[in-house]
A and B are shown apart, each in its own frame.
Chain A
Amino acid sequence: MSKRLAALTAVLVLLTPVMLGSSHIEGEDYLPFLFVVFAITWLAFFAYAFFITRKQADLKREIETLRQSIEESEGT
């Protein structure tokens, strides 16, 4: 989970200047920055919540499998 979080952060940090370029900025040109702020924030939260819920489902299955195999080994 931490590795995925670090990777997500690195991608966002590296891509941000590329997406926006580095030219001189005036007046209405501020809008893309505002848009990118909202997009990045929402994308990051959605991605994080998605990773968590998917990992929860995986672990739930693994817990069931482990419990079953423990019960079987105790039964024999």
Chain B
Amino acid sequence: MTGRVVLLGASGVLMMLLLALVFLWVPTDIVLGISQRIFYFHVPLALVAFLAFGVVVVGSTGYLWKKSDRMDALAYASAEIGVLFTSLMLITGMLWAKPVWGVWWTWSPQLTTSLILWFIYTAYLMLRSYAPQSDQGARYGAVMGVIGFVDVPIVYMAAKWWRDVHPEAVVGPLADEGSLEGKMVVVFLLGLLAFTTLFAYLLMERYTLRRQESLVERLRYSHV
């Protein structure tokens, strides 16, 4: 419980700090203007979504290997939070696209592959919800969770492989040196830390809830 309170408090403080720095400290981008500040939410959301799907792979692999219910609960919890982060990444992307490109949505390769990623893990959650037996659902879901992750590097590489309106990566191994100004890097890293902390908190809560759901199912079964 203490760990969760610390994570929640830390993410709250970091979010407040992020908000202050985004509005009061970081310089305005010369080309994109004020709208560029959406970057400090949009990109960390995307990267933490990738992290969440990475955790799904770890949990799913663990389940397939050891048949551990804990690993399955971890994978499920992380998939649900990953879908939430991906949804917000898509929405914030749309809100950035409208002022900059003049449209809410365009079928740019990076946007399209991101939407496919959202569909893959939404389908994962639907599969888990509608599977007739929980073991069967967990097994199929684990396979889907691992295979679905293939789309993550494709989303990241899309802007490099298929050049179009979406800017190339400014963080990570594909980023050019100096693509972000010093203060921008600081605020971006703070945003990444804030969202990662929030992810860790939500993951702990959702994992606990998933374990409770499994326990209720078992108790109901033994009661009948």
Query: Closest CB-CB distance, A18 to chain B, in whole Å?
Result: 11
Q: How far is the CB of B142 from chain A (nearest CB, A)?
A: 17
> Which residues in B have their C-beta under 8 angstroms from that of A62?
216
Question: Binding site of B, secondary structure by majority: helix, strand, loop or mixed?
Answer: helix
* The one of B92, B128, B212, B222 that contacts A41, using a Cβ cutoff of 8 Å: B92
Question: A37-B38, A38-B19 known; A1 and B219 CB under 8 Å?
Answer: no
At the interface, is chain A mostly helix, strand, loop or mixed?
A: helix
Given contacts A13-B87, A60-B212, 5 further A-B pairs with CB under 8 A are: A12-B91, A28-B34, A33-B35, A33-B98, A40-B91
Contact residues in B for A44 (Cβ distance below 8 Å):
84, 87-88
| Known contacts A25-B99, A40-B91, A41-B92: A52-B212 contact under CB 8 Å | no
| Given contact pairs A25-B99, A73-B223, A31 touches B34 in the complex (Cβ within 8 A) | yes
B15 to chain A, nearest CB (A): 8
Chain A residue with minimal CB distance to B210?
Answer: A1
The answer to whether B223 touches A5, judged by C-beta atoms less than 8 angstroms apart, is: no
Tell me, yes or no, whether B185 is within 8 Å of chain A by CB: no
Partner of B80, one of A2, A20, A29, A70: A2
In the assembled complex, the Cα of A17 lies from the Cα of B142 at a distance in Å of: 36
| Cβ-based interface call for B94 (8 A) | yes
7 CB contacts below 8 A, A to B, read A9-B87, A33-B38, A34-B34, A59-B209, A63-B219, A67-B219, A70-B219
B202 contacts partner chain A, Cβ-Cβ < 8 Å: yes
- Give chain A residues whose Cβ lies under 8 Å from the Cβ of B156: none
A side interface size, CB within 8 A: 43
- Give B contacts to A, CB under 8 Å: 15, 19, 33-35, 37-38, 41-42, 45, 80, 83-84, 87-88, 90-92, 94-96, 98-99, 104, 122, 125-126, 128-129, 198, 201-202, 205-206, 208-209, 212-213, 215-216, 219-220, 222-223
Q: Are A41 and B223 in contact (CB under 8 A)?
A: no
Residue from A5, A13, A20, A42 within 8 A of B84 (CB atoms): A5
A-B pairs with lowest CB-CB distance, top 10 = A66-B219, A59-B212, A30-B34, A30-B35, A9-B87, A25-B99, A2-B125, A52-B205, A37-B92, A33-B95
Option from A28, A40, A70 in Cβ contact (under 8 Å) with B88: A40
Chain B hits for A5, CB < 8 A? 80, 83-84, 125
A41 touches B209 (CB 8 A): no
Which B residues are in CB contact (< 8 Å) with A40?
88, 91-92, 95
From 1 to 40 in chain A, residues with beta carbon under 8 angstroms from any chain B beta carbon are 1-3, 5-6, 9, 12-13, 16-17, 20, 22, 25, 27-31, 33-34, 36-38, 40
